[in-house]
Amino acid sequence: MKPMRPIQEKQRAYQEQLLTELREALESRAITAVSIVDASDRPGVDVTDSRFRPRRIYVHLAFLWFYWGDQPDERVSCLRIDHATDTIEKAARDGWHEGPQGELHVDLSKVLDAHRM
């Protein structure tokens, strides 16, 4: 793991705090959730659905989202943990989407370009 600058340390701590709150809330509802750090050194939570398939939930700090794929229904605001927990619990009980987990990529330069128009 390479050294982080102070702002990156604060962002990482905030991500971990949000993910810990989410994991604890999901566990309190009998949803299997495990804190992880992936191969890219990103913190996340592995959540198992009703068919025993895992999905990895991450935090997108720029938009303050929890996300577990690239589809619009695979993200939820992390500002209200109870609402986020409800949404993720329902998705896990219903079963994750078929196929591999998509990766959310948001090109902020396009957002800035759109704002300049």
The verdict on residue 48 lying in a domain is yes
CA–CA separation, 36 vs 58, rounded Å? 10
The verdict on residue 43 lying in a domain is yes
55-84 pLDDT, tens digit each: 999 999 999 999 999 999 999 999 999 999
11-50 pLDDT, tens digit each: 999 999 999 999 999 999 999 999 999 999 999 999 999 9
The verdict on residue 73 lying in a domain is yes
pTM: 0.84
3-class SS letters over 31-71: CCEEEEECCCCCEEEEEECCCCCEEEEEEECCCCEEECCCC
DSSP state of 78: S
- Structural domain including 55 reads 6-116
Residue 2 binned pLDDT confidence (cut-offs 50, 70, 90)? low
- The count of domains in the chain is 1
The verdict on residue 97 lying in a domain is yes
Residue 107 has pLDDT above 70, yes or no: no
Mean pLDDT of 107-116: 56
The verdict on residue 1 lying in a domain is no
The verdict on residue 66 lying in a domain is yes
80-117 in b/e form (b: 16+ CB < 10 A) is eeeebbebbbebbeeebbeeebeebeeeeeeeeeeeee
